[in-house]
Amino acid sequence: MEQAVEVLAGDGLVALPTETVYGLAANALSELAVAKVFAVKNRPRFDPLICHVADRAGADALVDAWSEPAQILADRFWPGPLTLVVPKKPVVPDLVTAGSNTVGVRVPAHPLALHILRAFGGPLAAPSANPFTEVSPTTAAHVRAQLGDRVDLIIDGGPCVVGLESTIVMALPEHDPVLLRPGGIPLEAIEAAVGSVNVPSPTELKNASPGRQERHYAPQTPLIIESRQKPDPRVGRLAFRAAHSGYGASVCLSPQGDLDEAAARLFAAIRFLDGGGWDKIEAEPVPEKGLGRAIMDRLRRAEAKRS
């Protein structure tokens, strides 16, 4: 922990566990440190980073104005897998927000992340610790495989319990809340807290949230979503409730049909099938409720054609 704080204070990069996925953290207030994040991830600079803070006071230092829904959501879901996009204070560098006057903020619910945030005493900009467009890491070993010695330190906090990224809600004063990315907090829970939320179409989203490129979370092996089974020994099957026979390999995400469990296993399962040398990965769709919405979002992006 001490080493992590030292590295961060010296504008270095630390990969650390959160409850969603591993993050590649840097001092959010240092342009030099943040520039390294973009370089290591090979991430275009028009794609803004989320600032992680230890608590509400940490968020207040970055946030210029809290709408009522933003306050309600922060009270209800922090620490937790919810990112709020809200008006930013000038202290947040333009590089972090890609020039936007809003900032994405969240308080993560992982004890190690919180410990480091408190000890560091400032905000940490942290995207998922994967190269741009690739699958997000849910273990320290994934980070090592993808980024290796391009980061100064990797903190191993075990597998991430949620397993996919935070839900992002834009909550600006005078505007209805907008769902920018389905994630670890189900839309149903957000709407139970603040009433109905705007859910833009993928095309509308591409304009509202610069990081929402169609292709993302993508394995090297072509992935397609297919509900019918088409067994083929050259294909890897990503199944929801039961493994399917006749495939080269078949991974079942949750024998109980539990969408939370399926979400937690999703990225590791895609990685496993991606490593099998199959001609393609065929993914069974899951019901679009609860975390199923985020699972289908990630599968659709993984499926999107290379542009």
Residue with token string 């095309």 = 203
Burial class (CB in 10 A: 0-12, 13-18, 19+), 10: exposed
We find the least distance from the C-beta atom of residue 258 to ligand TXA, in angstroms, to be: 20
Q: Of the two residues 235 and 268, which places its CB atom closer to ligand TXA in the complex? A: 268
Rank residues 102 and 139 by Cβ distance to ligand TXA and give the closer one. Answer: 102
From residue 84 to residue 123, what is the string marking binding to ligand TXA with x (rule CB under 6 A)?
A: -x-----------x--x-xxx---x---------------
> Is residue 21 within the footprint of ligand TXA (CB under 6 A)?
yes
Q: How far apart (Å, rounded) are the C-alpha atoms in residues 132 and 115?
A: 27
What are residue 103's DSSP bridge partners?
86
Q: Which is nearer to Mg ion, 67 or 128 (CB)?
A: 128
Q: Cβ closer to ligand TXA: 160 or 235?
A: 160
Listed ranges 6-14, 30-38, 90-98, 120-128: which one lies at the site for Mg ion (CB under 5 A): 120-128
Residue from 20, 139, 221, 254 that binds ligand TXA (CB under 6 A)?
Answer: 20
Residue type, 172: L
Options 7-15, 19-27, 54-62, 244-252: segment touching ligand TXA (CB under 6 A): 19-27
Q: Are 262 and 291 in contact (CB under 8 A)?
A: yes
Q: Which stretch binds ligand TXA (CB under 6 A): 6-14, 20-28, 60-68, 273-281?
A: 20-28
Nearest approach in angstroms of CB 227 to ligand TXA is 28
Q: Which two tokens stand for residue 97?
A: 């927000």
Residues engaged in binding ligand TXA (CB under 6 A): 18, 20-21, 23, 47-50, 81, 83, 85, 97, 100, 102-104, 108, 126-128, 165-166, 168, 180, 209-212
